[in-house]
Amino acid sequence: MVRYAVLKGLYELDKTIGCGGFAKVKLATHIATGEKVAVKIMEKSALGDDLPRVKLEVDALKTLVHQHICRLYQTIETESHYFMVMEYCSGGELFDHIVEKNRLSETESRKFFRQIVSAVAYLHSLGFAHRDLKPENILLDKDQNLKLIDFGLCAKPKGGMQAHLYTSCGSPTYAAPELIVGKKYLGSEVDIWSMGVLLYALLCGFLPFDDNSIESLYRKILSGKYDEPSWLSNGSRRLIRAMLQIDPKKRITIEELCSHPWVTAGFLTPVTVVKKTNLERNDEVLNTMSAICAESAGDVWKALSKSTRTDYTTATYLLLLDRKLRGLSLRISSASRPHFRRQPDGEYLGAQMVPSLNNFITQLDQSPSNKEPRKSPNNGKTYNVLSQTPESEKDPLKSFMEPPAPGRKRLRSREEDDSSSPVPVKRAGDHKGAVTPSTPVPSNSKEIQSTPGSAKKVIMGLERGLNKMRCVLTPKRRIKNEENNNPDQPIVLSGKGLCNISSTSSDSPEYVLQQLRRALQRKGIFCRQKGFTLIGGTESDDTENVKDVAAVAVRPFASRKACRFQLEVCLLEGVCDGKLLVGIRRKRLKGDAWVYKRVCEQVLALAAEHPPSNSNEQTNSNCLI
């Protein structure tokens, strides 16, 4: 089914891999090359105040060409939609990778952190600040390399990186002290703070500053005090301390980070920054393109290198170049030939069937200015939390307690943060019989969070059990839900893409479902059931936008507890000598990722408990691990 006519013949859309407040991201195939891409789809009528974010992101991504920044291949605009065709990152979110492993080793953390440093040093060198660095905005590609996404909050101050910014934005748990008190700040300095929180999260598996109450969270951030778990090495402690300096002037700089001893340990070189923004010329790729475009390779290159273009030809060139670098053969489907027809002015068409089609940045340039707003609380777009009270007299949090001025709006909101990995699925048809219980590896992590130890152990043990399992799973053909969607049967999952799943030792999906329902009930979490899926939410009423600092500024001291998630009882195939194992697949639908993690841990731990002995409910010797 082609839902968007403009993509016909260019891209074949598949499943949704992510949803934001105003965008949906779909997995798709670039038809000319057969390569997978991610298509970010935005409905114009739903964009409203978020339109400048789209422009910001496109502007930035047209310039930023880096191995650890998600590549933008093509932009398409129709009367009703914007499309951004981007690099597909099959490994999903770094956040899920951390949760799956509980926490990462110093070696793995260092590998990832060097990649983040490299990307951030690069974007800073070009005058950009990201301003929303967090593991949910970092994806993994198929080779387990990191790619930064979501440049919708980035800034490129006119006066360069030394020019101050004023807009409070980003996620509260990653926000630097100067940002949350509403002072002017430098983009480079707040990025370094977020990277400190990020490195801590990689090495510890939880956040340095966390609290359900925004007020307490901010007080913790402003104090700059956090726990240092025993497993952190002296080097990583020193580095985290250097990044989490409450005084931004005392904070380590990106240049110093590149050659910090912890960052370079085991590597021969510091992190290097290459200021490249243009396309890389490859004659083999150009010859392949030339055959299909009926133009000389030189002419194809001339057209491609004209400007920062983002059309179908650019997408094809970049995807072929990537194939070439991976040592794969270069081929273009001849079916895509019509899409490379040349226009009289020398530009190649992107998708010529739709007359209104534009490379949308030209149109967006007429949209409202995206300049850093200064002290303009009523402009309806951003919220400035600067107060008139002298610094020395005011409580740093006071500005957040004041009610929002009329017209003040949140800078951004994101909902339905639905991330899932492409897991091959099918419905159980005739599953019967016992399952060999899996033996979880107990967690040896030191508990310093509020999460009950048992809860943490359960989920982490389950994750590790699953990691072991994953090695023996055979990839299976994906059987679409539509083909086998009996809600009375749990879904059967198999294949290497298994992610966000906890295994159990039960042989009865019904029993696991009942235990989960009971656990949710005991936690006071309202849930809806659809077959073997439970959709639960915490504090769904009044806390929609608490993810964002600006949103919090509008509703001071809101709770961070709001999140919506899905727990699905499923069967895991290919683990125990051909038998099926009962598992629980988790999915974050909305809200803060770390809150979601904590709630899931607690629910799974409760579900794993035996029912109380005096319970009249069904007892079953098969329990969750």
| Interacting residues toward ligand 6BB by CB under 6 A | 17-18, 20, 25, 38, 40, 70, 86, 88-90, 92-93, 139, 149, 417, 419, 421
Position 407, amino acid = G
Closer to ligand 6BB by Cβ: residue 15 or 281 = 15
Least separation in angstroms between CB 70 and ligand 6BB: 5
Nearer to ligand 6BB, 161 or 599 (CB): 599
> What is the smallest separation between the CB atom of 440 and ligand 6BB, expressed in angstroms?
26
Integer-rounded Cα Rg, in Å, for the chain is 25
Q: What are 155's strand-pairing partners?
A: 129
Closest approach of Cβ 38 to ligand 6BB, in Å? 3
Give the chain's count of helices (H) and strands (E). Answer: 19, 15
Residue whose entry in the numeric block shows the structure tokens 């060409």: 65
CA-CA distances (angstroms) from residue 494 to 327, 469, 474, 545?
29, 10, 7, 36
Q: Which residue is nearest to ligand 6BB (CB)?
A: 18
CA distances 590 to 101, 112, 206, Å, are 22, 26, 19
Shortest reach from residue 137's CB to ligand 6BB, in Å: 8
Which residue lies nearer to ligand 6BB by CB, 23 or 320?
23
> By C-beta, is 147 or 456 nearer to ligand 6BB?
147
Least Å distance between CB 262 and ligand 6BB? Answer: 28
Beta carbons of 554 and 410 less than 8 angstroms apart: yes
In eight-state DSSP terms, residue 365 is: T
- Tokens 């849930």 sit on residue: 527
- Indicate the residue type of 234: N
Residue 297 vs 595, nearer CB to ligand 6BB: 595
Comparing CB distances to ligand 6BB, the nearer of 377 and 424 is: 424
> What is the closest distance, in whole angstroms, from the C-beta atom of residue 540 to ligand 6BB in the complex?
19
Cβ neighbours for 290, distance < 8 A, ≥ 6 positions apart: 296, 297, 299, 300
Alpha helices of 104-176 — where are they, by DSSP H? 106-125
DSSP state string for 517-553: HHHHHHTT-EEEEETTEEEEEES-SS-TTTTSHHHHH
Closer CB to ligand 6BB, 501 or 625, in the complex: 501
The residue among 192, 193, 44 whose CA lies nearest residue 120 is 192
In the complex, least distance from residue 98 CB atom to ligand 6BB, rounded to whole angstroms? 14
Cβ-based nearer residue to ligand 6BB, 93 or 106: 93
Contacts of 474 (CB under 8 A, 6+ apart): 494, 495, 574
CB 564 within 8 A of CB 181: no
Q: Please name every residue paired with 30 in a beta bridge, in sequence order, or none if there are none.
A: 11, 35
With respect to ligand 6BB, which residue has the nearer C-beta, 70 or 242?
A: 70
Q: Is 568 exposed, middle or buried (0-12, 13-18, 19+ CB in 10 A)?
A: buried
DSSP state letters, 411-475: S-------------EEE-SS--S--PPP-PPPP-----SSS-HHHHHHHHHHHHHHHHHHHHPPP
Residue with tokens 């770390």: 594
Q: Is 247 a catalytic residue?
A: no
Let me know: does 607 contact 528? Beta carbons within 8 Å: no
Comparing CB distances to ligand 6BB, the nearer of 29 and 90 is 90
The least CB distance from residue 88 to ligand 6BB, in Å, is: 5
Closest approach, Cβ 315 to ligand 6BB, in A, equals: 14
Q: What is the 3-state secondary structure (H, E, C) of 216-238?
A: HHHHHHHHCCCCCCCCCCHHHHH
Catalytic residue among 50, 132, 417, 592: 132
Residues with Cβ within 8 Å of 459's Cβ and at least 6 positions away in sequence, in order, are 502, 600, 601, 604, 605
Whole-number minimum distance, CB 529 to ligand 6BB, in Å?
24
- Catalytic residues, by residue number, are 132
